[in-house]
Structures are given as C-alpha cells and as structure tokens.
Amino acid sequence: MLGVVPASLFFVFLSKIPVVGRGDAFKEVYPWLSELGIGLSFNLDGLSLFFALLVTGVGALIMIYAGYYMRSYQKTNRFFGYLVFFMAGMLGLVTASDWITLFMFWEFTSISSFMLIGFKHEKTAAREAALQALLITGVGGLALLAGLIMMSLPYHSFSFEAVISDPQPFLQSSLFVPATILIMIGAFTKSAIFPFHFWLPGAMQAPSPVSAFLHSATMVKAGIYLLARLHPVMESQELWIYTLSVFGVVTMFVGAWFALAQQDLKKILAYTTVSALGTMVLLIGTSTAYSVTAALVFLLVHAFYKATLFMMAGNIEKITGTRDMNQLGQLNRYMPVATVISLLALLSMSGIPPMIGFIGKELMYEAKLNAPAAGNFILLTGFLANAFTVFVSLRFAYGVFWGEKQGFKKQPHEPDVSLLAGPAVLVFISLLLGIFPNQIAGLLGPAFQSILPGETLIKLKLWHGFNEILLLSFLTVLLGVVMFFCRKAIIRIVSYLNGNYFNLKLSQRFFAGIDVFLNLTKRKTAVVQHGYHRFYLMTIFIAAALLLILTMPAIDFQFDFDLKFNGLAFFAMLAAIMIIAGSIAVVVAQSRLVALIATGFVGIGITIVFVLYSGVDLAITMVMVETLTVVLGAMVVYHLPKYLNYSGVGSRIRDGFVAVFFGFVMGFLALQTSKPTTITKISDYFVENSYTKAFGENIVNVILVDFRALDTLGEIVVLALAAIGIVSLLKLNAQKKSSR
Amino acid sequence: MSLLMAILIGFLYAVSIYLLLRRSIVKLVIGILFLSYATNLMLFFTGGLTETSPAFAEPISTSELATASDPLPQALILTALVIGFGVAAFSMVLIYRFYKESGTVDLDELSEIEKS
C-alpha cells in the first residue's frame, strides 16, 4: 500500500518532463534566516528531475517488494517509517536548490541509512556496520558542509545559481583548493569511493530491500549527484579532473577485483556497485559530451539492474535460506521466472545486447576512447573491470541457477508474484529501453544540460556498426567467458592474492582507529576531569584572575593612599584589624569551634564597616545573619570529627600562592572601581522616586520591597527552598535511623 | 581609605580561596562564607564610601541627597546577605549529612570512593 505514495509522486514528476527544459517547472523558497541567506529552497531542473524519477520510480517498486519481503520480520512499521523518511530525504536532496538545504537532506539520508543498516540491531555485525557507515558518511557530511560554506563565502548566498552562473569568484578565492577537497571527500564517502568504499559491503547487513534501494540505486548516487551538480563550476579545473579520474579508476578496478572471489551474493553485488560508482566518478571527471552522456545512461542502467539483482538475491535468500554461492545451484528447475528475470539483469550488467546495459557500456568505451588524459591507461583498467564484471555475472548465473545440485533445507519454489513484480518491471524497462533507447532522450537531455551546459546529448542507439568499440565489447565478453572457464584457478589465485597481498581489512583498521580514539579521549578525560574538586576550583580561580588581568585597563597607581587615624577612620582601622586577625585565626585554627567563632568575629568586623559607612540596613541584617550562622555552625560542628590537617606543606604553599595571587587581583580590581566615574548612576532614579512615587524614606528598603519587589520575592523563595532542603536532609536522617 | 578597603577585600578573597582549596569540607564551607564576605564588601566599596549619611529620602530637601550613600549596591548586598545565609545554612546541614553518610570529611577520600 505504501507504494502508492512514491508511485503517484513518480507520475507527478513524469508529467514534468516536457516542461523541465524551460527551467521553471517547480520552484519553492521558504526563507528562514534571511540575514544569512539560509532557508529551504527547491528547484526542479533536468538533473533533479532525473534523480527524482529514479528515487520515486525505484522507490515505488521497492515498497511493493518490501511489503511482502518484510512480512517475516518484527517491527516492520518502524522499517517502513525509516524507508519513507529516507525517500523524503533523498527527494529533498535532489530537488534542493541551495547548498544548506542540500546538506540537510544529505544528512537525513545518512541517518536513515544508519537506521536501516542497523535494522536487525540484535546482531552485532549489523550494529557495527551501521555505526561504520554512519561515522564515515557523517565525517564526510561535515567535510561537505565546511567545503560548501567555503565555496559560498565569496557570494554571500548559498544558492546553486550564484556559484554556477558565475564560478570565477570561487575559483579565484584562496579557499578554492581546501573547499574542493572537502567537497570531494563528502561526495566520496557517500558514494563509497576508494578509500572510503569499505562501508558499502558492510552495509549489506541491511535487509535486501534496503540494499536494493539505498545501497545500489539511490543513496550512494547522492555523491555522484553532487559531483554532477558541481560539474559546470569545476569542469576546467585540473585538481577536479585529475582527482576524480584517479579515484574513479582506482575504485572501479578495486571494486571489480574484490567482487571476483566473493561467495556471498550480496557482497558480490556490493563490490560491483563500488566498481560502478567508481566508473561514474571517472566519467564525470572526464567531462566530455560522451562521458557525461555515458555517466547518465550508466547511472540509470546500473540502478535498474542492480536493484533487480539485489531483490533477486533477497528472494533467493528467503526461499533457500542462504545466499552463499557454494550452497546454491540448479535453481532454474524450481524458479524459472526468477531465473529469466535474473539472467536478463545479469545480461544488462555484463553489457550484452539487447539490454540497455549494452548501450551504457558502448558509451563508456566511447568516452574512454575520447578521454583527453591518460586515455590508454583508463581504457585498459576499464576494459579489465568490465571483463571482471562479465565474469562475475557468469559466475552468479551459473553458480545459482545451474551448477551442482545442492541439498536444500527447504524445497525451493517460485517466489511470490509480488516479490517478482518489482524486478520484472525493472528488467522489462531495461529491455525496452535497450531496443528503443531514444525514448529516454527527453529525460536525459535536460539532465545533461544541467551538467554540461552548451553541449548536446549524444544520440543513443543500440547498433553502432562495426567499429573498434564493438570490438572492445566483444573482447570484454570474450575475456569474461575465458576467465569463467578457468574460474577455479582464478578464484584460487584471487583469494590467495587477497589473503596475502591485498589484505587491506580497512573495516577492521577503521574500528581499531575508533578504539585508539576512544582510549585517547578516555585518557584526556581522566586528566581534565580528575574528580578532585580542589583542582577544578583552582583552575577556575587562576583562569578568572588571568582574565581579569587581561580585561583591566592599564593600571595606574594614582590612588588615595592616605590613611587617616582620626574620627571615623580610626574605628575603620580597628574594624580592619579585627577582620584581619579573625581571618588569620580561621586559617591557623586547629579547632573547628575556634574557626567558627573567628568567622563570626570577621563578620562582626564587616558589620562595623557597614555601620561606619552609612550601610545601616546592611549592618542590622549582617548581625542577625552572622549570629544565626555561628549558632547553626556550632550545632553542626558538634557532630563532626576533629579538625584535621589533611594537606601537606607543599600543597599549602601552592594554595597559598594561588590565594594571594587571586587576592591581589581582586584588590586591584577594587581600587580600579573606586575611581570616580562620569557614568550616570541607575540609583539616581531610585533616589528621585523613592519618596515621590513609593512613599518611603529609606531608599534601600524601598528598592527591595518596591522597585525590585519581584527579586525579593525570588529571594524569599530561595530561602524557603533552603529551609525545605534542610528539613528534608534532617528528616531523611531520622527515618534511616528508625529503619535501622 | 580606598587602599585600606582594597587591602581588606584582597585579603578576604585570599583567605576564602585558601580555605576553598582545603581538603576538609568544613573549611570549604567556611571558605564559602568568606567568599560572600569579600564579595559583599567589594560591592559595598564600589558604591563609594560615604560617612554617616545613609540613603534616606526626605520629603522636602533633595539637595542633601547628592551626598548621601548609594542605595543600589546596598540593596543588592542585602539580597546577597540573605541568600548567602540560606546557602550557608543549607551547606552546613549538607556537610553534616555528608559526614553521616560517608564517614569522612575529606573530599579527596570522597573522590576515591567515587572512583572505586
């Protein structure tokens, strides 16, 4: 039923094909932070439409397939939730028309991919694979965001149009190189390009519909989409062309190589997907009319056959209980329809007429023959990779549907109609388009224009006549077949080489790296968060003192230095002596009671200062507070153990230094504040209005109960809370005692 | 008298920091008390030292007010005093409970208990 939504969207997008060439098919802008030029904006151009059709079209078929496939699973509602979430994210990604929107949806797809890979979360392998995919695509996403922001800086706008219509400010900016590299890292992680390719085979832990949809047909193409989107900006940049070509070629070859000796059907498909993604990156990097046409056609072709094959792999696993090639064989007897569908898809994958895969491969060869740089090398690796693909397809077909008969646990039978419908439709379209390829020219044309404006799409045809390209195709198939006949030797050699020389195990390395990182952060935490409150406090005080010194204006020593000893000043001196003596007593006291009484003594000294300098209300309150504090303290101290000196001499001296330093800084701060200022005082308002508006003579009191009455209410609440806290702390004690 | 006051304030801060850095939780609490003393005195000092002229608003004469003490810092200190008392009372009862539960007044020992 869920298939209805993407299907209807598919038809909506389909109806847009005729208008999309005009460039105003669909445009939506929702401003958000308009000062920063951030908002949601969408635009449907040729490239977007191409991908949108792919997402919704394949999506609809996958939904139908998954509806039956997932019946045996638990919590399928969650599964479909993630799947729809992904589809929305992917649609947003391909229709976005500014970089921030694109990035946001980019992350949506990463997260939904994580959820879907880890759907069988009770399996450790699935959880690890999901985490690995998330971390890699997540790091790539961050790199992408940084790159996109760097790219947009010269424009003060994040829209595609700004940079695409006028790339020069970006190309000339000093951030061009870092921005380009970061963006490419983003695209490479998403599209599983070497050396980030290893998350994709791991992602095969996901249920088959997910592998078919996210990890072959759509999500991994997001990186390709981004590269295609940026192509008009970068097409003449050497950094761009060479990086894409090199990484594309390497990925194309590495993927095909590792596909050779795999036994797991889904792993085989995953590695050929890696190879295909590398091919697409290479084709975009080559940047000719041929290569871009080839990239688009191949993208479509690949989505069709790979989604089909993943669905078929899922069907086979469902029916026989295994997807290990060694345990499969002779399935053509039990499931003839499935066999035919799979064979057609494999033909398309091998690039054999009349499937559309053939056209894709012809175009690829043509593009490589016309490649400007290092053409021969690219042609050779491409030829080998294609031959490997042919070999893998043959192995797949023979090993699963013919080969030796195996004893199955369950009697195999034809998969359910709804499990075959999706693959059948895709294969049928592949066949149809292979015969009438120009039916999609209307779709590919505008997409092509978005990538390579100014040139025209190469005309697609099934038959090119006898030329070198056809010869190449023929040789590819021939090499694949020859390899197939010596498959035992080849598999042994490849396995040997993989085990001994190409034993990269990037996935394990990745997790080892994560472990190292976690240990590092643990150690860092142990150092910074040591758990000793004294050192936290010390850090805070030293930092505060240093910051205060930094912010203090140039210190001048023009202070009022005269100490008077007559009149009030005499009493002030006495109070100061009282305070200092009391403080020293507190520090050196060996008895907690003495310390407490000395504290009270200091409090009374401060009270005297308040009295002397016109703080009458303060003095009254202070006397009460001090008395209560000392009484309460005495009651508590009575229950505590003897006053002990825990610290050694060294730490005392150290703490003394910190304390004196902080004291000095605060003293200086006090002197600074004592200087007369010309700033209008807030208190003037209170002085003027105290009697006239609030009818109170004592201005301090009026401020408390009238002007700042709400603060005072808050203060009362704090006191009440403290009282409740105290009572509950004491009550808790009583209850515990009684329970004992 | 500014210098005397500044010395007093700096001295009180130094004592407070020293006490806060001790391992004994009782000294920690006394350190908190001293921190509020020092800060209150600082606030009071920023209002300027005015001798024998509390901030009272007379119905008639407004000329005298110019020389009266600044009421705003005093109002703030008053609030701080009362809150400070709440904090002191609560923390004292808290150390009492702390000792009853943990059997120690040494904060480092507490860290080790937590770690093990």
CATH number where B92 lies: 1.10.287
H/E stretch holding A4:
helix A4-15
Q: Is some CB atom of chain A closer than 8 A to the CB atom of B59?
A: yes
Give me the residue from A629, A662, A663 closest to B85, CB to CB. A629
Determine phi and psi for A341, rounding to 5 degrees. -60, -50
H/E stretch holding A609:
helix A592-612
pLDDT at A701: 87
Q: Within a 10 A sphere around the Cβ of A579, how many other Cβ atoms?
A: 24
Residues of A in contact with B59 (CB under 8 A): 691, 697
pLDDT at residue A565 greater than cutoff 70 = no
Domain membership flag for residue B58: no
Residues of B in contact with A593 (CB under 8 A): none
H/E stretch holding A683:
helix A683-692
pLDDT at B112: 67
Residues shown for chain A = 740
Is residue A440 a contact partner of residue A448, using CB atoms and an 8 Å limit?
A: no
Tell me which residue has tokens 């069988």: A120
Tell me, yes or no, if the pTM score tops 0.90: no
For residue A567, give the nearest of A622, A613, A617, A620 by alpha carbon: A613
**Lowest-pLDDT choice from A234-238, A410-414, A588-592, B15-19:** A410-414
Instruction: Tell me the nearest-neighbour CA distance from B50 into chain A, angstroms.
Output: 5
A102 — pLDDT class (breaks 50, 70, 90): very high
Residue of A nearest to B43 (CA): A670
Mean pLDDT value across chain A = 85
Q: What's the rounded mean pLDDT across residues B100-104?
A: 78
| Tally of structural domains, chain B | 1
Residue of B nearest to A708 (CA): B75
pLDDT at A635: 86
Tell me which residue has tokens 């043959």: A394
A625–B84 C-beta distance less than 8 A: yes
Question: For residue B32, what are its two tokens?
Answer: 């908190």
Q: How far apart are CA A167 and CA A227, in angstroms?
A: 15
A560–B82 C-beta distance less than 8 A: no
Burial of residue A638 (CB within 10 Å: 0-12, 13-18, 19+) is exposed
Which of A640, A664, A684 has the most B C-beta neighbours within 10 Å, making it the best mutation to test the interface with B? A640
pLDDT at residue B65 greater than cutoff 60 = no
Determine phi and psi for A28, rounding to 5 degrees. -135, 135
Give percent of chain A above pLDDT 70: 93
Residue of A nearest to B28 (CA): A534
A646 against A649, higher pLDDT: A649
Give the DSSP letter of residue A373. S
Burial of residue A578 (CB within 10 Å: 0-12, 13-18, 19+) is middle
Q: What's the rounded mean pLDDT across residues A54-81?
A: 88
Domain range for B27: 2-53+64-115
pLDDT at A504: 66
Q: How far apart are CA A636 and CA A218, in angstroms?
A: 70
Give percent of chain A above pLDDT 90: 24
B75–A613 C-beta distance less than 8 A: no
For residue A728, give the nearest of B90, B45, B35, B51 by alpha carbon: B90
What residues contact A174, with CB distance under 8 A and at least 6 apart?
none
CA–CA distances in Å: residue B38 to residues A100, A212, B80, B89: 51, 70, 12, 18
A699–B33 C-beta distance less than 8 A: no
For residue A204, give the nearest of A283, A116, A143 by alpha carbon: A116
Report which residue type is found at A503. Answer: N
Is residue A317 a contact partner of residue A323, using CB atoms and an 8 Å limit?
A: yes
Instruction: Tell me the nearest-neighbour CA distance from B32 into chain A, angstroms.
Output: 11
Burial of residue A113 (CB within 10 Å: 0-12, 13-18, 19+) is buried
pLDDT at residue A10 greater than cutoff 60 = yes
Q: Within a 10 A sphere around the Cβ of A680, how many other Cβ atoms?
A: 8
Question: For residue A230, what are its two tokens?
Answer: 């940026």
What residues contact A28, with CB distance under 8 A and at least 6 apart?
A40, A41, A42, A43
A560–B3 C-beta distance less than 8 A: yes
Which of B25, B27, B50 has the most A C-beta neighbours within 10 Å, making it the best mutation to test the interface with A? B27
Q: What's the rounded mean pLDDT across residues A716-724?
A: 92
B106–A614 C-beta distance less than 8 A: no
Report which residue type is found at A568. Answer: L
A639–B8 C-beta distance less than 8 A: no
pLDDT at residue A3 greater than cutoff 80 = no
A740 — pLDDT class (breaks 50, 70, 90): very low
B23–A687 C-beta distance less than 8 A: no
CA dihedral A431→A435→A438→A440, nearest 10 degrees, is -10
Q: What's the rounded mean pLDDT across residues A598-615?
A: 90
Q: What's the rounded mean pLDDT across residues A224-244?
A: 89
Residues of A in contact with B17 (CB under 8 A): 541, 655, 658-659, 662-663
Domain membership flag for residue B71: yes
Instruction: Tell me the nearest-neighbour CA distance from A561 into chain B, angstroms.
Output: 6
Question: For residue A105, what are its two tokens?
Answer: 């949806």
B84–A687 C-beta distance less than 8 A: no
CA–CA distances in Å: residue A109 to residues A7, A98, A222: 20, 17, 9
B56–A697 C-beta distance less than 8 A: yes
A700–B75 C-beta distance less than 8 A: yes
Is residue A469 a contact partner of residue A362, using CB atoms and an 8 Å limit?
A: yes
Instruction: Tell me the nearest-neighbour CA distance from A494 into chain B, angstroms.
Output: 52
pLDDT at residue A21 greater than cutoff 70 = no
Q: What's the rounded mean pLDDT across residues A428-432?
A: 88
B45–A583 C-beta distance less than 8 A: no
Tell me which residue has tokens 């990182």: A517
Residues A23-50 pLDDT 10s: 566 788 888 887 777 888 888 888 888 8
Q: What residues pair up with A31 in beta bridges, in sequence order?
A: A39
For residue A299, give the nearest of A357, A365, A235 by alpha carbon: A357
Report which residue type is found at A361. Answer: K
Three-class SS of A448-515: HHHHCCCCCCCCCCCCCCCCHHHHHHHHHHHHHHHHHHCHHHHHHHHHHHHHHCCCCCHHHHHHHHHH
B55–A719 C-beta distance less than 8 A: no
pLDDT at A36: 78
Report which residue type is found at B105. Answer: V
Give me the residue from A530, A534, A719 closest to B21, CB to CB. A534
> Computed from CA positions of residues A140, A144, A147, A149, in that sequence, does the dihedral angle turn out positive or negative?
negative
Q: How far apart are CA A662 and CA B58, in angstroms?
A: 42
Residue of A nearest to B102 (CA): A640
Report which residue type is found at A667. Answer: G
Determine phi and psi for A43, rounding to 5 degrees. -150, 140
pLDDT at A276: 93
Residues of A in contact with B113 (CB under 8 A): none
Instruction: Tell me the nearest-neighbour CA distance from B33 into chain A, angstroms.
Output: 8
A683–B44 C-beta distance less than 8 A: no
Q: Which 3 state secondary structure label does DSSP give A530?
A: coil
Determine phi and psi for A41, rounding to 5 degrees. -140, 140
**Lowest-pLDDT choice from A146-150, A168-172, A703-707, B58-62:** B58-62
Residues B23-51 pLDDT 10s: 888 888 899 999 999 999 998 888 777 77
Residues A316-356 pLDDT 10s: 888 888 888 888 877 888 888 888 899 899 988 888 877 88
| Helix and strand counts by DSSP (H, E) for chain A | 31, 2
Q: How far apart are CA A178 and CA A470, in angstroms?
A: 42
Determine phi and psi for A690, rounding to 5 degrees. -60, -50
For residue A212, give the nearest of A27, A69, A1, A393 by alpha carbon: A69
Tell me which residue has tokens 């976005």: A96
A51 against A194, higher pLDDT: A51
pLDDT at residue A666 greater than cutoff 50 = yes
Q: Is some CB atom of chain A closer than 8 A to the CB atom of B1?
A: yes
B89–A662 C-beta distance less than 8 A: no
A226 — pLDDT class (breaks 50, 70, 90): very high
For chain B, positions 13-42, list CB contacts with chain A under 8 A.
13-24, 26-27, 30, 33-34, 37-38, 40-42
Is residue B98 a contact partner of residue B25, using CB atoms and an 8 Å limit?
A: yes
A409 against A438, higher pLDDT: A438
Instruction: Tell me the nearest-neighbour CA distance from A563 into chain B, angstroms.
Output: 6
Q: Is some CB atom of chain A closer than 8 A to the CB atom of B113?
A: no
